[in-house]
Amino acid sequence: MQISSKEIISLIGLTSIIFLIAPLFLILYVLSYNRKKKKHQEETVMLQKNFETELLKTQMEVQEQTLKTVAYDLHDNIGQLLSLTTITLSSINLEDNKNTAEKIALVEDLTMRSIKEVKALSRLLHGEEIVSRGLKAAIEFELEWLKRSDRFKVNFTHNHVPFNGDSAQETILFRLFQEIINNIIQHAKATEININLQGAVESYQLTISDNGMGFDVEEILARKAGMGLHNIIKRSNMINGNASIVSSPVNGTTITINLPYK
C-alpha cells in the first residue's frame, strides 16, 4: 500500500507538533515544580520562624509566671514572716527575762524560716534551670508552691519515664502545664487537681483534671473567652502534639496533651 504525499505531510506535521509540545510541557512542568518547591521552602522557613517566635514567647511567659509567683510569695509569705519578726522584736520587754528569751527564740525561728523561703525563691528564679532538670522535676517544683496555698488537694502521678523529645518541646509542654493550672486557679472553683505524666517509647502524655465547675467546650471555643483554650490547642499542634479538652458544667475538666516523639 502506497502512502500518499498528503498523508506523509500530515504525519510530518503531527510529529513536529509533538516534538514542539513535549518540550513545552516539560518546561511548564519544571517551572511548576520549581514554584512549588520554592513555596514549600518559604513555608518551611516561615514555620520555623513562627516556632522560634512562639518558643521565645513561651520562655518569656515561663519567666513571667515565675516572677508572679515570687511577687505573691514575697507579699503573702515572706512579707508576713518579716512583719511578725518586727512585731515580736518591738514587743520585747528587756526587764522581763523569761519573756525576752521566749520572744528572741521566736524571732530566731521566724528569721530561719525567712531565710529558707528566700533560698526557695532564689531557686525558683532560675526558671530555665528548673526546666533543664526535666519535665517531671519542673512540675514537682511548681506544685510545691501550689500546695502551700492550702486551697487545693493536689495529686501528681507519673511512671518515671523521662521525656525523650527536644528541649524546645519540653519548655512549651511545661508552659502548657502552667497555663492549664493557672486557668484552674482563676476560673474552675476547684478543690482538687490531678496531674498524670505518662511516658512511652514513641509518645508522651500529660493529663490534668479538676473537680471544678466545668464548662461547655464548644461554646467557650466559639467565643473570645476561649482564647486560652485555643492557645493550648495551637501550642500542642506546634510541637506536633494534640490537645483533648473534655468538660461539662458541674462535672469538672480534663485536658490531655498527647505528644508523639516523631
Domain locations in the chain as residue ranges = 63-125, 152-262
Report phi then psi at 65, rounded to 5: -60, -40
149/185 Cα distance (integer angstroms): 11
112-151 core/surface letters (b: 16 or more CB in 10 A; e: else):
eebeebeebbeebeebeebbeeebbebbbbbbebbeeeee
Q: What φ, ψ does residue 188 adopt, rounded to 5°? A: -80, -25
Residues of the chain with pLDDT under 50: none
Q: Which amino acid is at 127?
A: G
Distance CA 175, CA 52 (A): 15
| Whole-structure pTM value | 0.66
Q: For residue 224, what is the DSSP state?
A: G
**Cβ neighbours of 161 (radius 10 Å):** 13
Report the pLDDT value the prediction gives residue 49, as an integer from 0 to 100.
78
Which pLDDT score, from 0 to 100, does residue 76 have?
Answer: 66
Within 10 angstroms of residue 64's Cβ, the number of other Cβ atoms is 12
Supply the pLDDT for residue 202.
86
Domain 152-262: which CATH number of 3.10.20.30, 3.30.565.10, 1.10.10.10, 3.20.20.140: 3.30.565.10
Residue 184 class from Cβ within 10 Å (0-12 exposed, 13-18 middle, 19+ buried)? buried
